[in-house]
Structure 1
Amino acid sequence: MTAYVIFIRDEMKDQSAYDHYRQLGVPTLAPFGGEILVANGEHEAFEGADFDGSVVLRFPDMASARAWYNSPEYEQFKSIRLGATTGRAILVEGIN
């Protein structure tokens, strides 16, 4: 079943570092079948605390999403995102 990695950004601490992370991190998705569906567009919090931005990635399945997130290819850039932003990352399974 399709899986989604959802990043909810609470605060941008370093825009320049985040932009650098995006340039380096996006190419790591393709080998795992990942694609970007949402990338920090306009948003509105219907419930809960407001947030600064969000990214939604789609993968063919949970195993592919986990493999990407834990891959050496992505691991080398993950620390840039973690230093540039605060927030949460979650993995959810789709319905088809």
Structure 2
Amino acid sequence: MNAYAIAHLRQPGTVDPEVYEYMELIQATLDPFEGRFLIHGGRTRVLEGSWPGGTVMIEFPDFAAAEAWYASADYRKILRLRTDHLVGEVILVEGCGPDHDSAAMGARLRAEAR
């Protein structure tokens, strides 16, 4: 089951050059864990609520690979280049399989809630 690192990042002021350095270095930390960008900024249209800032989504082959990447020495070495200059939230989340059925899931959850 694929897993994803998802970040909602906001820039509190002008971009510090260390953010660019982070961007230049991150791919090398992802490669050993088969991480690849699915979303990296890009156009966003907010449909509900507020969403200041940008979105990043990185796909991994599984949750263990995502956790191992985030904990890796190579990523930890560059992490402060982002966290010292951008505000945001980062999560790791497991995806659902290609056979996921939200109707069946809803029915199961409804039955369990009774």
Both structures adopt the same fold (TM-score exceeding 0.5): yes
Which 5+ residue runs of structure 2 have no aligned equivalent? 98-114
TM-score (norm: length of structure 2): 0.78
Match of 1:30 in 2: 31
Which structure 1 residue ranges, 5 or more long, are not aligned?
A: none
Of 83-92 and 5-14, deviating more is 5-14
| Residue in 2 that maps onto 1:69 | 70
Post-superposition offset of 1:16? 1.9
Report the Cα distance in structure 1 between the residues aligned to 2:16 and 2:80, rounded to whole angstroms.
Answer: 14
Query: What percent identity do the matched residue pairs reach?
Result: 35
CA offset at residue 12 of structure 1? 4.8
Write out per-residue CA displacement over residues 49-74 of structure 1, whole angstroms, 9 at most, x where no aligned residue.
Answer: 22211110000011100000010010
- For the pair shown, which has the larger CA radius of gyration, 1 or 2? 2
State the SS of the aligned residue for 2:64: helix
Closer/same/farther in 2, CA of residues 24 and 12 from structure 1, 3 Å limit: farther
Could you list the runs of 4 or more consecutive aligned residues of structure 1 that deviate by over 6 angstroms after TM superposition? none
Query: Which residue does 1:18 correspond to in 2?
Result: 19
Report the CA distance between 1:47 and its aligned residue.
2.4
Relative contact order higher in (CA < 8 Å, ≥ 6 apart): 1
AA aligned to 1:68 is: W
TM-score, normalised on structure 1? 0.91
> Take 2:63 and 2:3, find their aligned partners in 1: how far apart are those partners?
5
Please tell me whether the aligned partners of residues 6 and 57 of structure 1 are also in contact (alpha carbons under 8 angstroms).
yes
Aligned length: 96
**2:94 counterpart letter in structure 1:** E
Q: Which residue of 2 aligns with 1:5?
A: 5
Aligned-pair CA distance for 1:82? 0.2
d(CA) in 2 for partners of 1:12 and 1:23? 21
Change (3 A) 1:12 1:33: farther
